[in-house]
Chains A and B, each alone.
Chain A
Amino acid sequence: MASLKILAVDDSPTMRRIIVNTLKRAGYDDVTEASDGKDALAKMKVEQFNFVITDWNMPEMDGLTFVSQVRSLDEFKDVPILMVTTRSVKDDIIEAMKAGVNNYIVKPFTPETLGEKIGQVLKSVGRS
Chain B
Amino acid sequence: MMDKSIRVENSTKNIHAELRHLADSISQIIKGIRVAQEPIADSRNKVPQATEQLERVTQQTAMATHRVLDMVEAITGRDGEIETQMKELRRVLPSTYFRNNSRVKRIVERIGVNVSANQNDAYAIMDALQFQDITSQQVDHAISLLEQVENRLKDVMVGLQLDVSAESDVKRKERAYDPNAHFSSNSNEQSEVDKLLHNLTKEKQNN
Residues of A within 8 A of B (CB): 10-15, 17-18, 21-22, 25, 56-60, 62, 85-90, 93-94, 97, 103-111, 113
Contacts and interface: CB of A to CB of B under 8 A. Distances in A.
Nearest to A19: B130
B62 interface: yes
B129 interface: yes
Given A88-B189, A93-B197, A108-B130, A14 B66 contact: yes
B195 to A, nearest CB: 10
B193 A93 contact: yes
B178 A56 contact: yes
Contacts of A106: 189-190, 193
Contacts of A85: 178
B78 interface: no
Interface of B: 62, 65-66, 69, 72-73, 76, 123, 126-134, 136-137, 173-178, 180-185, 187, 189-190, 192-193, 196-197, 200
Nearest to A21: B126
Contact of B130 (A57, A58, A107): A107
Interface of B is mostly: helix
A14 B68 CA distance: 11
24 contacts: A10-B133, A12-B136, A14-B65, A14-B130, A14-B132, A15-B133, A17-B66, A21-B69, A21-B76, A22-B123, A22-B126, A22-B127, A25-B76, A59-B173, A62-B176, A86-B134, A86-B178, A88-B192, A94-B196, A106-B189, A108-B128, A108-B130, A108-B184, A111-B123
A86 B185 CA distance: 12
B189 A25 contact: no
B197 A14 contact: no
A96 B175 CA distance: 20
B178 A57 contact: yes
B197 A104 contact: yes
Q: Which has the most chain A C-beta neighbours within 10 Å: B178, B182, B187, B192?
A: B178
Q: 8 tightest A-B contacts by CB?
A: A108-B130, A86-B181, A12-B133, A57-B176, A59-B174, A86-B178, A59-B176, A15-B133
Contacts of B128: 108
B182 A86 contact: yes
Contacts of B65: 14
B175 A86 contact: no
A80 to B, nearest CB: 14
Given A93-B200, A104-B197, 12 more contacts: A14-B62, A21-B72, A21-B126, A25-B123, A86-B180, A88-B180, A93-B197, A108-B127, A108-B184, A110-B127, A110-B187, A111-B127
Contacts of A59: 173-176
A110 B182 CA distance: 15
B94 to A, nearest CB: 32
A93 B180 CA distance: 14
B131 A108 contact: yes
